[in-house]
Chains A and B, each alone.
Chain A
Amino acid sequence: MNIKVENLTKTFGAQRAVDRISFEVNTGEILGFLGPNGAGKTTTVKMITNYLIPTMGNIEIDGKSLFDNAEEIKKHIGYLPENNPLYHEMPVIDYLEFCANLQGIPKEKINGRIYEMVRVCGLNAEKHKKIGELSKGYRQRTGLAQAMIHDPEILILDEPTSGLDPNQIVEIRKLIRELGREKTVILCTHILPEVEATCDRILIIHNGKIVADGTADTLRKQAQGQELMRVKIEEGESNVIFQSLQELPTVAMVDFAGREVNRFEVQSKPGLSSKKDIFQLCVKNNWILTESIPIETKLEDIFRNLTMN
């Protein structure tokens, strides 16, 4: 099922939480939804799950308007809200059964689904405990289990790995990737490596507006523009090498990288690559190229650039 959001706007009093945003998510796509606190991520997600009704704009799921078919469409959405609210007085199993019932799973399949979720989310040891007695990690797993219990076509997860241990994080990410092959997944998170590790596409939202939309690679290219390399060239006089590098036609700027001798940062001219030229320069002068590392702009930097005023 694909999600199509058009001109979505939500105002709370005078405040515009979400300001005319439009995007699409297709089946088999994992969308990473990023943004600083208060950017409007959670409000957007709450509108897609039909908890809030937009002030303006439209949400279509599989070509059907969400507001006219809410009851039907909600059956196909699995949602893990921010802060993972749960009924603390209920045992895990009872809670999963309650969710399964509400989502309209046929009676004969309910037990199967519950045990499937208990297995997938690693809840077996704690399944008869009350949710209030569980540790944060196990509560998070319960939250994930309830979101996926009805095998939804659309999965919306707000910070799914918070409170999990590293092993569990790896497993959950793997699970999300697997699910993402045939389902539509929206992943809200602050953890940028997680987005890189799991998402096909990234959407960055700031002050209620979309400021970036694309794969991690396209975002990098947009942010970077010029190729940046760190090279180490030995068997030569530092200043001579510096001079020669500077004279290469594809090189825009050379800089000493830190205090280390013979290590340089080379920035190419826009649209050009200086890798080959550097190699040939070394061959010509009998220098030895011992390091050549392309420096990628980190997602963190892109994020900061886009969301700091």
Chain B
Amino acid sequence: MKQIWIITKRELGAFFNSLIAYVILILFLGFSGFFTWLFGSDIFMVGQASLRSFFSIAYWTLFFFIPALTMRLLAEEKRSGTIELLLTKAVSDREVVLGKFLSTLILIIIALAFTLPYIITVTNLGNLDLGAVICGYLGLVLMSGVYISIGLFASSITHNQIIAFLTALFMGLFFHLIFDILANSFTGFIGQVFNYLSMTVHFESISRGVIDSRDLIFFISLMILGLYFAELSLSRRNVSN
């Protein structure tokens, strides 16, 4: 447990030292702020005291930004060889993967925390459903967790950060969009399966303010699966050089 936290702290440091964190924070806040308040179907356009428009913007911006954060996590260490140094210290593969996962999740939570003033603003505009807002944030965090673990897996299979980024985006796209489209074009059992696999369905369900165990199982099992495969592919160093 302690080892995980040490790695998390180092990774967070690396995010902030290399300016990645600041760039991502500024871009995320800029994009989501612009579309929430100024452009498109923004809050004033909708005319309701709710953060739905923010959540649907963040839902997409996070989808694109997370692979950019996770791409370097393992790929860079594999390229520079520091992974060898790290894994020969008193840590296990799993602790390294979890530490890196946690660091990115914390960065996302920090980014989301900067949007908390939105709540105050909207509360002043009208009657805000606080339960739905909390669930919306929870949904974003859970969704981020899923994409981070997918991104970590993508980063673990290659030495190349660009490949890691594109692989993560490609895998994420299935959950984000493709399964949803497929669910609409199939009926019966297959349609239900695709429906269950769609991130959109679960995110919308949770951001409506309903915490359903089926949604939680979806998010958490995908996270565990991604992390498990990341760990597995880290140990693949034994198969070839």
Residues of A within 8 A of B (CB): 12-13, 46, 49-53, 70-72, 74-75, 77, 79, 81, 83, 85-90, 94, 98-99, 101-104, 146
The closest CB in chain A to the CB of B14 belongs to A89
Contact A71–B92 (Cβ < 8 Å): yes
- A73 vs chain B, min Cβ distance (A): 9
The closest CB in chain A to the CB of B81 belongs to A85
Knowing A49-B88, A79-B88, A81-B85, the reply to whether A89 touches B6 (Cβ < 8 A) is no
Contact A102–B84 (Cβ < 8 Å): no
Which residues does chain B contribute within 8 Å of A51, judged by CB atoms?
84, 87-88, 237
Knowing A89-B18, A90-B13, the reply to whether A70 touches B84 (Cβ < 8 A) is no
22 contacts between A and B (CB under 8 A): A12-B239, A49-B88, A50-B87, A50-B88, A51-B84, A52-B238, A53-B235, A71-B90, A71-B91, A72-B90, A77-B88, A81-B85, A85-B82, A85-B84, A87-B10, A87-B82, A89-B14, A90-B13, A98-B10, A102-B6, A102-B7, A104-B90
Which residues does chain B contribute within 8 Å of A13, judged by CB atoms?
239-240
Give B82-110 as 1s and 0s: 1 = Cβ < 8 Å from A's Cβ atoms: 10110111111000000000000000000
Number of B residues, CB within 8 Å of A: 25
Say yes or no for B127: interface residue by CB 8 A criterion: no
Q: From the candidates A49, A75, A81, A90, name the one contacting B81 in the complex (CB within 8 A).
A: A81
Add 18 more A-B contacts to A51-B237, A79-B85, A85-B85 (CB < 8 A).
A12-B241, A13-B239, A13-B240, A49-B88, A51-B84, A52-B238, A53-B238, A71-B92, A74-B88, A74-B91, A77-B88, A79-B88, A81-B85, A81-B88, A85-B82, A85-B84, A87-B82, A104-B90
The 6 closest A-B pairs by CB, nearest first: A85-B81, A49-B88, A75-B90, A85-B82, A74-B90, A102-B89
